[in-house]
Amino acid sequence: MTAVRRWLPALSASLLVALAGCGASITGEPVPAVGFRDDSASIAAVPTPRAVTGVDPCTLLTPADLDQAGGTTGGPYPGNPTPRTCTYALGGAQPGNTAAVGFNDEFETAKAKQPRGVDVDVEGHSAWLYCDVIDGFQTCTATAAINAEHTLVTMLSLRGATAADTTDVLQDLTTAALRNLPTG
């Protein structure tokens, strides 16, 4: 019993300090423990870095890749709508459907340009998916991290389609384009 009486004041004081700490404000930023990832500092996953130097974006999608989107009726159109992209006019029941592929800025910069997008994964690579209806076309873009400085961007615009239908086809186009990029 004597041992319990000696520990009781120390235990009470420790408990009081611990409880008082719960209501106190602590300044600074928490630091994650070893082995835990800090989700506030987003690092794009790039399991297989890809090269972009000397790669023609018009070689990243084949006619077979584009068949599921309606096949091509024209193109490829290099440098359209931006210098490092390639656009294809698609066939199918709806005129004006298009697909595009190309390169853009590093991942975090690309994400910031489309704040309403969502994080997705394409073959282990971090990707950012954004969809919007523009003039009756469901237009979705996928921006996949391919190295520290660049992203692979694919776009699919389909008249009268749902976001779910568009993203299903876009996932396949993005995967095909990613696989056609050289490693490096």
More confident residue, 171 or 80: 171
Per-residue pLDDT reduced to its tens digit, 143-156:
999 999 999 999 99
Residue pair 160/136 in contact (Cβ under 8 Å)? The answer is yes
Does residue 126 carry a pLDDT above 50? Answer: yes
Q: First CA to last CA across the chain, in angstroms?
A: 71
Domain boundary assignment for the chain = 57-180
Say what the pTM is.
0.76
Does residue 27 carry a pLDDT above 90? Answer: no
Average the pLDDT over 36-43 and give the result. 45
Q: How far apart are CA 48 and CA 145, in angstroms?
A: 10
Does residue 120 carry a pLDDT above 90? Answer: yes
Does residue 11 carry a pLDDT above 90? Answer: no
Residue pair 131/164 in contact (Cβ under 8 Å)? The answer is no
Average the pLDDT over 17-33 and give the result. 39
Buried b (16+ CB within 10 A) or exposed e, 67-100: eebbebeebbeeeeeeebbbbbbbbeeeeebbbb
* CATH class, range 57-180: alpha beta
Lowest mean pLDDT among 9-18, 33-42, 104-113: 9-18
- Alpha-helix runs per DSSP H in 119-162: none
Query: What pLDDT does residue 30 have?
Result: 38
